[in-house]
Structure 1
Amino acid sequence: MESNFYLIGVGGQGVIRLGQIIADYGLKKGEKVKFFKEVG
């Protein structure tokens, strides 16, 4: 999964789409900050 995440990040176009999903998922779980810190 980490490799896929990196591939998407390198793509650039999938970042926005994935970012929105992560933001929504993070807000629901309440771990948005942790997710962003690990990804960024």
Structure 2
Amino acid sequence: MSWLAGCRRLHRRYESKPEHFLAFTAISTSLINYRRLAK
């Protein structure tokens, strides 16, 4: 799913800290929703 949405950083977990991973997840979710609303 993340690869299709263009969020390559979430495709494989590069972050060692869970807080950073959750932050990127939140940013990606916001970006996906923005793209859907912009259509």
Q: TM-score, normalised by structure 1?
A: 0.44
Say which structure, 1 or 2, has more relative contact order (CA 8 Å, 6+ apart). Answer: 2
Q: TM-score, normalised by structure 2?
A: 0.45
